[in-house]
Structure 1
Amino acid sequence: MRSGFLFAAVLAGALVVPAGPASAHGGDAPDATAYRTEVTGLSMSVPGLSVRAVEAGARLELTNDTGRTVEVLGYRNEPYLEVRSDGTYQNVNSPAAYLNRTLDGDTPVPSNADPAAAPQWQRISTDRSVRWHDQRTHWLTPGLPPQAQADPTRAHKLRDWSVPLRQGVTTIEVRGTLTWEPPPAAWCWWLGAAALGLAVTALGRRRIRWVSAVALVAGTITFGYAVTRASLGAEGTAPAIGAAVLALAAGVLTLRGRTPFLLLLGGAALAIFGGLGDAGVFHQAVVNFPGPGWLARAAVLTAAGAGAGMVATGLLRLPSAAPAPISSTA
């Protein structure tokens, strides 16, 4: 009973883990994509000013430590964002302020948003760093690019892009490239997850404490992967963090001889939220993770396979529900 209460407490606490600091501009970021957006540099060197692509290329991030105001210009070269020494401001009269709210740019632009109107600045953050979607860096046409349709086996550079900035009367360009990359062999990663699940189940049939060790290792890997993504502003990581904590708790409690039902619950959470929830990384080349793509895929494979094996072990080890024998009287 005490184990059940402890497990429920861990579940409640884990599922309210914050997903990381909010960006100055809300929006959506994919777990994985076929398009690699890279910043190659600025048209001129400005000490203290840096721009990079983040969230698998879904947004650009500008950091202004120059001590002077830097403007990001919109699609009609109108003032869109200003990053000042006291924070970030958005021009509500810029159409980009609405188009850039989502990755697809499908937010309706109100009639009062006029790029020719005088800027009306609204403070949106106290940071000197801001993230935003920028359609100039994305592939917006439905379907595969023509180059990828003609040869889907290799990467294709689609175009060079630029985003204009302004500091005083000086215009600076952020320059970069957009590349389509072929998908990985997803079946290999799914096969690996299935093989791991079978191996963990086989271990569980011999000795359940070995599966407890697997739960601890898999929970640690999933926790590290999810927290790393959360620290970069990735969205939707709280369920994976919660699942990792549950898997760790289940491993500890099962190692101490508690009911295998806890192992079943922890494994289900790990497989669903740590594995299936991020399975898009198996199917796309560019992942929302700072390390190499194969490392992210290995972490998701571990969560899916180990979680499935924990579930199977828990089911096999549940006490039998067979009725007690009826005693006879002489």
Structure 2
Amino acid sequence: MTPVPPRRFGLVVAAALVAVLGTTTPAAAHGGEAPDGTDYRAGVTGVTPARPGLTVRVVEAGARLELVNRTGRPVEVVGYSGEPYLRVGPDGVFENTRSPATYLNRTLSGDATLPAKADPAAAPDWRRIDDGTAARWHDRRIRWQEPDPPAQVRAAPAREQRVLDWAVPLRDGTEPVEIRGTLDWVPPPDPYPWWVAATLGFLALGAAGLLAAGTAAGVRALAGVGAALAVGGVAAIGLTVGRELDAGASGVGAVLAGLLTGQVWALLTGLGALAAGGYALARRPAADFALALAGACLALFVGVTNLGVLDRSVPPAPWSGGLARLLVTLVLAAGAGATAAGVLRLRAAATRPTPTASDVDHGVALGNKSS
């Protein structure tokens, strides 16, 4: 490894980690105000009476409903007071600015202040909000709105059970239609085993930083930490893509667009961890610095922002909660472990004498021999 002045390295690492800590806010923003997880599983059971070309599903871990209308005629979503709320048809998606639901549904909590013009008895005032034939909206009728679980859940919290059967009314012309679905309580998992696994992974990878960098064992340790960080990067990309799929993105183009607009920080973090892992595997100069910086970004931008997955039964992803928790655990262990290993190796480099030319040749020979 090419020697670098240790004081400069220490200052660079400190400044980089401070910068990472100070920029964690963008990573917490997820498209569509999707929750980090929930213990309520919402699902659509059907549209009654059936309408060919009209499809509805729950997205964002139950935070929103998505309606796609390919019938060729407009369909209205009815608001909480029986008023027209949304109109979805071949000419686009419109919202009624007179409907209270227009404002209440803009946030997941539904605590918006209604403007004076919000009057469900007034004639609709339609405003186009999208040119497509799909609408997504928060709907209080499909969620449990209270902070505490219902009485039957409090009586038996360890048992999966039905909370409610819900219905959201539509109008197809003058004919009433309903979206019907269910909301179930799913007992939350025990996060303790996942925290133990993440901690053990962190300790194992961090301990690799204690091996002397100039020895064959140190070279192998660097490669091992790099491989683990690359695995963490793959897990981070999987989590990020999963969020986009759960948010309703379909097709490669839609997924990429969502990643680049709503989750670019998480995506870049995963790609950066992959690159830094490969950098360490190739034993490139400044690999220790790359491990420390990329690991810190991975742990903060993806691991910390997805901690809710560890103690929630329904993740914001189109797969099981167990797989989502495994991915978060890999991210936490790889990110924190790589950071510790990189910092320890940098610290060791800063405290040992500057190598002579013969030492450098010997270290290169060891590296070539181990490869």
Q: TM-score range by the shorter chain?
A: 0.7 to 0.9
- Cα distance in 2 between the residues matched to 1:195 and 1:16: 29
Residue 100 (structure 1) aligned with residue 105 (structure 2): yes
TM-fit CA distance, 1:203? 4.6
2:280 pairs with 1:246: no
User: Which stretch shows the higher mean deviation, 228-237 or 79-88?
Assistant: 228-237
Taking the aligned partners of 1:117 and 1:165, their CA distance within structure 2 comes to 19
* C-alpha deviation, 1:323, in angstroms: 7.7
Give yes or no for the alignment of 1:129 onto 2:134: yes
Q: Distance in 2 between matches of 1:300 and 1:131?
A: 27
State the AA in 2 paired with 1:322: T
Q: What SS does the aligned partner of 1:321 have? A: helix
Q: 2: CA distance between counterparts of 1:201 and 1:321?
A: 18
2:92 equivalent in structure 1: 87
SS of alignment partner, residue 320 of structure 1: helix
Q: Given the alignment of the two structures, is residue 210 of structure 1 paired with residue 224 of structure 2, yes or no?
A: yes
* Unmatched tracts of structure 2, length 5 or more: 3-8, 10-15, 212-216, 249-257, 355-371
Query: What residue in structure 2 maps to residue 328 of structure 1?
Result: none
Q: 1:144 matched to which residue of 2?
A: 149
AA in 2 matched with 1:245:
L
**Other structure's SS at 2:276 match:** helix
Match for residue 281 of structure 1 among 309, 316, 328: 309
Q: CA RMSD in A?
A: 2.6
CA distance, structure 2, for counterparts of residue 182 and residue 291 of structure 1: 17
Which of 194, 197, 207 is the equivalent residue of 1:192?
197
Alignment check: 8 A CA contact 1:42 1:172 kept: yes
Letter in 2 for 1:225: L
1:219 aligns to 2:248 (yes or no)? no
Equivalent AA in structure 1 for residue 317 of structure 2: F
- Aligned-residue sequence identity (percent) comes to 46
Unaligned 5+ residue runs, structure 1?
326-330
* 8 Å Cα contact 2:93/2:130 also seen in 1: yes
Alignment of 1:17-166 (within 5 A): 27-166=32-171
Pick from 307, 326, 338 the counterpart of residue 298 of structure 1: 326
Instruction: Compute the displacement of 1:16 (Å).
Output: 9.5
Q: Is the 8 A contact 2:66 2:134 kept in 1?
A: yes
Q: Aligned partner of 2:64: which letter? A: R
Moved more, 239-248 or 287-296: 239-248
The count of aligned residue pairs is 311
Normalised TM-score (structure 1) = 0.87
Q: Aligned AA for 2:92?
A: G
Query: What's the CA shift for 1:194?
Result: 1.0
| Larger helix percent | 2
Is 1:229 equivalent to 2:232 in the alignment?
A: no
Q: Per-residue CA shift, 1:104-153, capped at 9, x if unaligned?
A: 11011112111111111000001100100111111112222212221111
Deviations 1:258-277 (A, max 9, x none): 22011001111111112111
User: CA 1:137–1:323 in 2, change beyond 3 Å: closer, same or farther?
Assistant: closer
Alpha-carbon distance in structure 2 between the residues aligned to 1:120 and 1:144: 37
Counterpart of 2:349 in 1: which secondary structure?
coil
Q: Give deviations 1:21-49, integer Å, cap 9, x for gaps.
A: x7xxxx52201011111111111111100
Counterpart AA for 1:66 = T
User: Is structure 2 residue 283 aligned with structure 1 residue 269?
Assistant: no
Secondary structure in 2 matching 1:140: coil
Q: Secondary structure at the match of 2:351?
A: coil
Going from structure 1 to structure 2, the CA distance change for 1:112 and 1:267 (only over 3 Å counts) comes to same
Compute the displacement of 1:202 (Å): 4.2
Letter in 2 for 1:272: L
Which residue in 2 is equivalent to 1:258? 285
Tell me the SS of whatever aligns to 2:34. coil
